[in-house]
Structure 1
C-alpha cells in the first residue's frame, strides 16, 4: 500500500503588505530610509500609508482606525513620549511590529557625544543657518547651470565639467539639495570653455565621463523624445568617441578629479563627488587627478 507523504505547508507570503510611516515632522527622513530599505527587495507590493506631523495623541487617535483596518509594519520617528507610548500600546494590542528607526542611531550618538538628545519634533527641519545656506546653494546652482554665469564660479564649492548628457545638471541639483553650491559646464570641442575655468582657486573642478556607447544611446533617446532626427553628429559613434577623448585629455591636462558615471545613478555620482570634495577639504591642499 503506497504511503502518502504530506508536505508541510510553509509560511504564507502575503501578496501585499501595508507599511505605515508616522513622523512628527515632514517625514522626509522616514520616507528616505524606508525607500532605501525597500530597494533591497525585489518584486514587492507595498502599500505605503504616510502620516506626517503627528505631534499629539489626539492626532494619533485619528490614525489608529487606519492601522487597525490595514495591519502591517509600522515605522515611526516620534519623540513626544506620550504620543510614542500610545502608538506602541496600539501596535502591541493589534500585534503590529513597530520600529522606532532612529533609536539606535540616537543612542549611539548620545554615548559618543556624552549628552542627551533634545526631544524636539522636527528639529532637523528647523529654519536655522544651515537651512538658509541650502536654499542659497539651490539658487546658486540653478543660476549657474550649463555654463551660465562663469564670472561667479569662484563662489562655487564644486564645478562639474563634462560632455553633453553626462548627468551634470541632475547631479548638480542633487548636490545643491545637500547644501553645495555647484556650477556645471558642457565641454564642446568646437567651443572652448572660458579661461576662468583653468584658474579657479576655491571650487573643486570634477570631470564627469562616461562610456561612448552608453552616451550614444542616451543622446539618441533624447533626440527621439524631441521628435528630432537621431542620425546626427550629436549621436554619431565616432563623433561621440572623439568628444569623450577630448574631455578626458582636458581632465588629465588640468589634474582634475574624474568620475565615470556610466554605471552610476545620480545619487551614486553625487556621493562620489562629496567624498572627493570632503577628502580635499580634510587635506587642505590643492586637488589632484583621481579617477574613480
Structure 2
C-alpha cells in the first residue's frame, strides 16, 4: 500500500485517499478535519489556486482507455448528456493534481447549477453549444477553454484534448466560499451489505464493486479506476434542455439534470448501503444527505463518486 497522506477536500473535510492512477491502488487517508467545520473547507490549504472542475469525455471504450486524472479527483459526478450517454464532471483539489486531465469535452447546461453550490471555482472545458455560452459567461465560474488559454491544453484543436491543471490553477486562483454539504465520519448503524451494483442511463452504465477497502469503478462494462471511498446514488429529474446541437446534420437535444430540490438517494461505503434523502433547496447551498433518523449520513474519508440517475 502507498503511504498515508493528508488531503484537503472541497467537501467539508480533508480527504487523504490519493489514487495511483487509473485502475491503481489507493493511498489510505490521513487525518481529517472536522466534518462539521468551517464554511470554507479549503482555508487550510492557502488562499489561491485551490479547486478545479473539468468536464471529461466518456463515450467509448477507446476514450475510457486514455482517460487521465479521474482516479485523483476528490469528487466525480456521472452525468447524463444527449443521446442517453454520459460524461464526467470531476472536481480536483490543488494539493495533489495529476499531471494531465482528460479527454476534455464540452460544458453542458447541467454544469452551471451543479457547480453553483461550490462557489467560485475554475471550470475547464472544450467548447459548448452557442446558446449556452452567454450563460457560462454570466455564471459564478472561471471559464477556462482552449480559446481563452490555449497553452493550458494539449492537442488543441484535435481530439482528444487534455488539460494541464497546474497551469490553470496558477493562472486562475480559485477559492470556493462554500462546501457542497458532505459530511465525513464513522459509518452509522443500519447499513445493508452490498458488494456490487450497476446503474443505467439510456445509452450508458456505471458499476462499482467493493474490494480492498474501496470501490472499483467500471463504465459501460470497462474497468475505469479504483479507490473510491463513497458512492452516492442521487435520484434526480432529467428533463429536456434549452438548447439543441446539430451534429452531423441532425438535431441533438440536450438534457438537464436537476440537482436542486429533493429526492431519494443511496450511499455506499465500506461494502454497505444506506437509504437516505437528498435535499438542496437553495441553489447556492450544499446538498444534504439525511438518514431516516434525521441525522446527516457520514461519508467515508476519501474520494466520492456521485451517480446522478433518473
TM-score when normalising by structure 2:
0.27
Larger relative CO (CA 8 A, sep 6+): 1 or 2? Answer: 2
Structure in which a larger fraction of residues adopt strand: 2
TM-score when normalising by structure 1:
0.28
Structure in which a larger fraction of residues adopt helix: 1
